[in-house]
């Protein structure tokens, strides 16, 4: 049995500031991942202190993980990896310790890299990341301390399946000037994934930070995971 974990980035949340569940957030988040029926999806929220808990129970095949009140600054990435491990332990304990496919959007991809670097699990099948700023927003070619640390990750961790990475390109945000970007991160930062996984990063012309998850190349992979 293999379970699919979808790791949300900055701002992905299922609750309002008062802690109430937002049903529209469920629907929007699942559509964001290209998942049609929200009733078949589990949702796990990781607290600031790293504890993980279900906020919705589904079929256990597709599980969305979000990090509450986390802004993904570099100093938080260590705790994010720990929080993702707690969510992973919860999922595997409840489902007979299955293999896992990992899909990270935006900084969710950095949470995955941190988790893999710290814990080197032996049950990961496939890894997919979209619009992940491996080198931060990266208006510079200087490598961040995080990127330096997780570079060449696959020299000591290897999934049993595939690694696929995608980033958009289109000069969407004026903040970046003439630097190619997806509206939120620079395209070059996304391409730094090649240093992490020693694998090619697919650059998608015209895709932005939000739409990259639902391009045909990505939904094809997600659909293959449903088998």
Pick the more confident residue, 11 or 213. 213
Give the three-state DSSP class for 213: helix
Find how far residue 142's CA is from the centre of its chain. 23
Residue 98 pLDDT: 92
Domain ranges of the chain: 2-225
pLDDT at 16 over 60: no
Pick the more confident residue, 11 or 191. 191
Output b/e per residue, 150-179; b: 16+ Cβ within 10 A. bbebeeebebeeebbbbbbbeebbeebeee
Angle, CA 129 vertex, CA 224 and CA 190 arms, to 5°: 145
Q: Distance (Å, rounded) from C-alpha 136 to C-alpha 138? A: 5
| 209, 216 contact by CB (below 8 A) | no
Residue 35 pLDDT: 64
pLDDT tens sequence across 128-148: 999 999 998 766 667 888 888
Residue 32 pLDDT: 59
pLDDT at 190 over 70: yes
Q: What is the CA radius of gyration of the chain?
A: 16
Residue 114 pLDDT: 92
pLDDT at 10 over 70: yes
DSSP string, 98-128: -EEEEEEETHHHHHHHHHHHHH--S-EEEEE
Pick the more confident residue, 11 or 23. 11
Residue 144 pLDDT: 83
| Most distant CA pair in the chain, distance | 50
Q: Distance (Å, rounded) from C-alpha 135 to C-alpha 143? A: 6
Q: Give percent above pLDDT 70 in the chain.
A: 80
pLDDT tens sequence across 51-73: 898 887 777 788 888 887 655 55
Name, in order, each residue with C-beta under 8 angstroms of 174's C-beta and a sequence gap of 6 or more. none
pLDDT tens sequence across 82-92: 889 999 999 99
pLDDT at 23 over 80: no
Question: Of 81, 118, 96, which Cα lies nearest the Cα of 7?
Answer: 81
Model confidence at 204, in pLDDT bands (50, 70, 90)? very high
pLDDT at 79 over 60: yes
pLDDT at 17 over 80: no
Pick the more confident residue, 32 or 149. 149
Fold of 2-225: Rossmann fold (3.40.50)
Q: Is the pTM of this model over 0.85?
A: yes
């Amino acid at each position: 049995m293999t379970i699919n974990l979808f790791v949300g980035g900055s701002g992905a949340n299922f609750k309002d500031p008062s802690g109430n569940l937002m049903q529209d957030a469920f629907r929007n988040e699942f559509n964001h991942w290209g998942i049609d029926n929200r009733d078949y999806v589990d949702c796990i929220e990781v607290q600031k202190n790293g504890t993980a808990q279900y906020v919705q129970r589904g079929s256990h095949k597709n599980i969305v993980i979000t990090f509450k009140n986390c802004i993904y600054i570099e100093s938080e990435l260590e705790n994010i990896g720990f929080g993702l491990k707690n969510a992973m332990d919860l999922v595997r304990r409840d489902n007979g310790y299955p293999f896992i496919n990992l899909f990270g959007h935006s900084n969710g991809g950095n949470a995955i890299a941190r988790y893999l670097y710290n814990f080197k699990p032996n049950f990961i099948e496939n890894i997919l990341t979209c619009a992940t700023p491996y080198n931060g927003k990266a208006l510079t070619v200087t490598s961040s301390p995080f990127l330096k640390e997780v570079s060449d990750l696959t020299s000591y961790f290897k999934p049993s399946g595939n690694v696929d990475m995608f980033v958009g390109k289109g000069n969407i945000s004026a903040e970046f000037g003439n630097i190619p970007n997806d509206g939120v991160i620079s395209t070059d930062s996304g391409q730094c994934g090649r240093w992490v996984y020693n694998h090619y990063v697919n650059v998608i012309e015209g895709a932005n930070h939000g739409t990259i998850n639902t391009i045909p190349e990505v939904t094809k992979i997600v659909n293959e995971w449903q088998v």
